Amino acid sequence: MEQLAAKEESASKLMQERRKELLAMQLIREEKSKLDDLLAKAKEVNEGATAYRTALEQEAKSLKEMASKRDEERAKHQQFIEHWRAQAEEAKLREEQAKAQLKVLQDSEMRSAEREKSAMSAAHAEGATVKRLTQERDALQRQLNHKRSAEPSGGGGGGGGASGELKEQLEYYRGIVKCPLCMKNEKNAVINKCFHTFCRDCIDQRLNLRNRKCPTCAVPIDFQSVKELFLTH
């Protein structure tokens, strides 16, 4: 009985140890399963980190390429800005030159206006002079005609001298009112730019031959700048 009790006690101890071993093995399996799960998760994390690192490297490469392109564009923009800056400076220089030329033209225009005003005054004075000379010529013509009618047919020496003097004066005044180009026709046309006077035939001939300048002062003329001049009523 004692041996049986000892055997039962020993079997009981063996059963308890067996249960403990089974329990430990179960715990080890569970721990191993947990470790396997952790290892799988670690692998997944590692793969994700690797993929993330690869993505970061690609992104960094793309950023470097973009930075390089931006540097090239910045260089092109800088060249473009320098080009336009040079053009702006050139345009400013041209503007200053244009202003200077405009001032010269304005001064020239003012001088031309002053010359035109002086020419107009001179033309008015010349017109008045021509009118006065025409009146004097007509008066001398009448005097000459009167002298001729009053002289006897034989003619005395004193009368001949007075008649010759009147003829000279008459020829002088006739020469003043004659056209300086043909010396035949009377002045009947005036250029309203310089107010020099000629006959209409001579001026029309020069205009038709495209020699469109005043014969006296060479100012440019056209058909519209030539007006009629009336020395007699």
User: What are the residues facing 189 on neighbouring strands?
Assistant: 198, 228
Residue 217 CB neighbour total at 10 angstroms: 13
Complete DSSP assignment for 169-224: HHHHHHHHHB-TTTSSSBP-EEETTT--EE-HHHHHHHHHTT--B-TTT--B--GG
Is 165 in contact with 156 (CB distance < 8 Å)? Answer: no
pLDDT at 119: 64
Q: What is the pLDDT of residue 232?
A: 63
Domain 123-151+158-228 class, CATH top level: alpha beta
Please write the tens of the pLDDT for every residue from 81-99. Answer: 999 999 999 999 999 999 9
Kindly give the parts of the chain with pLDDT less than 70.
119, 122-123, 126-127, 146-163, 231-233
**CA separation for the pair 163, 192 (Å, rounded):** 39
In the prediction, which pLDDT does 69 show? 92
Q: Which of 211, 217, 209, 185 is nearest to 198 (CA)?
A: 185
pLDDT of residue 123: 66
pLDDT on residue 154: 47
| Every domain of the chain and the residues it spans | 123-151+158-228
In this prediction, residue 229 carries a pLDDT of 82
Check if the beta carbon of residue 195 is closer than 8 Å to that of residue 174. Answer: no
* Predicted local distance difference test score (pLDDT) of residue 113: 76
